[in-house]
C-alpha cells in the first residue's frame, strides 16, 4: 500500500475530513512541484503538517496571522506557484479583505482549505464555529465555493479543484465528524448536483456532513409514505441551476438543510437559482444563531434542529399545509 493510499485509508477509517484534506494536499504536492501550502500556525490542526512532512521546503508558516497567510499566498500565485492556504474556517475570515483585494479582484489561483467549519469543533464553542463563511466566500465574484460531504469526497473534490479551477477557491471542510455517503453514491463532479436519491414529493438539498441527516430523513419519511429526493450541492458556487430546477419541477417543494446561517449560505444559493428558473417553495432548515459548546457534533445538531427527525417534521408540516 502506497503512502497516499494508506494516508487516505486512515482518514476514511476516522471519518476525518481534515485528515482527508491533508492527504489530498500531499497527493497534489506529488503531482505538481508548484504546489505550496501556507498556514497560520495551524499546520497540526488543519493537517497541513502531512504536506510539511513530505515537502518541508514547500510548507510556509507565517504565524498567527491569517491576513499574512492570504497575502503571502497571493504573492506566490503572482510568481507562478499554486498556493493553498490551510486555516481554520472561523479565523480565515479575518482575512476577507485580503481574499477580496489580493486574490479575488485579480482572479489568482489561491485555494483556501478551511477546516473546523460549521459545528465540527463542538468543544471550543462559538468562537471556533463558522456559520457565516459560505456567505462571505460566495459573495466574492471569482471564488468557487466547495463543501464536500465526507472524507472521501473531500479528497476527490480537492483534486478536481486543482485540475479544473483556474482562479480562487474556498473549500469548506469539517474536522473529524463526517458520516460516509452510501458506497453506491455516484462519483462527485465539480459543478454538478450529486443526486443521491430519487423522489417526487419533496427534495432535500444539503451539503457537508449534514447530507447524512438528509438521507436518514428521507428514509424516515419513506416509511410514512412520502417520496423524497436527496441531493448534495457540494459545489455551492457556481451552483448547478439546471439540476436544482429539475428537482424543483419534479417535486414542487425544496427543503435546504445546512450547517450555516440561512442568509447567504446554501439556502441563499438554492433560492437565488430557483427564483429565476422555477420559483417553487424553498424552505430553510438551519441554525438561527451562533453555536455553543457541546460534547459532540450530534449534540449540536440536536440542539439546533438539524437532525433527521426534525427535518422529517418540517417536511410533513409543509406537505400538510400544501394539501390543505
Q: What is the mean pLDDT of each run of 10 residues along the chain (324 residues)?
A: 87 97 98 98 98 97 97 98 98 97 98 98 95 98 98 98 98 97 97 98 98 98 97 98 98 97 96 96 96 96 98 94 63
| Pair 103, 137: CB distance under 8 Å | no
Q: What is the mean pLDDT of the chain?
A: 96
Nearest to 6 by CA among 32, 27, 37: 27
Nearest to 213 by CA among 100, 85, 75, 312: 312
Domains 3-172 and 194-323 share a fold: yes
Provide the CATH topology of domain 194-323. Answer: Rossmann fold (3.40.50)
The number of CA neighbours under 13 Å toward the Cβ of 180 is: 16
Q: Evaluate the CA torsion angle 278, 283, 288, 293 in order and state its sign.
A: negative
Ranges of each domain in the chain: 3-172, 194-323
| Pair 253, 280: CB distance under 8 Å | yes
Which pLDDT tens digit goes with each residue over 151-171? 999 999 999 999 999 999 999
Q: What is the pLDDT of residue 1?
A: 58
Phi/psi at 168 (5° precision): -75, 155
Cα 273 to chain centroid distance, Å, stands at: 19
Q: What is the pLDDT of residue 268?
A: 97
Phi/psi at 196 (5° precision): -100, -20
Q: What is the pLDDT of residue 323?
A: 59
Q: Domain 3-172: state its class.
A: alpha beta
Amino acid at each position: 500500500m502506497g503512502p497516499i493510499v494508506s494516508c487516505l485509508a486512515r482518514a476514511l477509517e476516522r471519518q476525518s475530513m481534515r485528515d482527508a484534506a491533508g492527504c489530498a494536499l500531499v497527493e497534489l504536492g506529488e503531482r505538481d512541484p508548484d504546489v505550496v501550502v501556507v498556514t497560520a500556525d495551524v499546520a497540526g490542526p488543519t493537517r497541513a503538517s502531512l504536506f510539511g512532512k513530505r515537502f518541508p521546503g514547500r510548507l510556509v508558516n507565517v504565524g498567527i496571522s491569517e491576513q499574512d497567510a492570504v497575502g503571502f499566498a497571493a504573492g506566490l500565485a503572482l510568481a507562478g506557484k499554486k498556493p493553498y492556504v490551510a486555516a481554520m474556517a472561523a479565523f480565515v475570515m479575518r482575512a476577507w479583505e485580503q481574499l477580496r483585494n489580493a486574490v479575488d479582484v485579480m482572479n489568482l489561483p489561491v485555494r483556501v482549505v478551511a477546516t473546523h467549519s460549521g459545528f465540527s469543533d463542538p468543544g471550543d464553542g462559538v468562537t471556533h464555529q463558522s456559520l457565516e463563511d459560505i456567505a462571505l466566500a460566495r459573495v466574492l465574484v471569482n471564488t468557487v465555493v466547495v463543501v464536500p460531504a465526507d472524507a472521501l469526497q473531500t479528497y476527490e473534490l480537492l483534486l478536481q479543484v486543482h485540475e479544473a479551477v483556474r482562479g480562487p477557491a474556498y473549500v469548506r471542510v469539517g474536522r473529524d465528524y463526517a458520516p460516509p455517503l452510501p458506497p453506491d453514491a455516484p462519483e462527485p463532479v465539480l459543478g454538478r448536483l450529486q443526486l443521491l436519491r430519487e423522489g417526487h414529493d419533496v427534495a432535500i438539498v444539503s451539503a457537508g456532513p449534514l447530507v447524512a441527516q438528509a438521507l436518514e430523513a428521507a428514509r424516515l419519511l419513506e416509511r410514512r409514505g412520502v417520496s423524497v429526493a436527496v441531493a448534495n450541492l457540494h459545489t455551492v458556487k457556481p451552483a448547478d441551476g439546471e439540476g436544482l430546477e429539475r428537482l424543483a419541477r419534479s417535486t414542487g417543494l425544496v427543503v435546504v438543510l445546512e450547517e450555516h446561517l440561512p442568509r447567504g449560505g446554501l439556502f441563499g444559493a438554492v433560492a437565488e437559482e430557483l427564483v429565476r428558473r422555477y420559483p417553487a417553495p424553498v424552505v430553510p432548515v438551519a441554525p438561527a444563531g451562533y453555536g455553543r459548546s457541546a460534547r459532540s457534533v450530534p449534540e449540536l445538531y440536536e440542539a439546533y434542529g438539524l437532525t433527521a427527525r426534525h427535518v422529517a417534521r418540517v417536511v410533513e408540516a409543509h406537505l400538510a399545509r400544501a394539501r390543505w
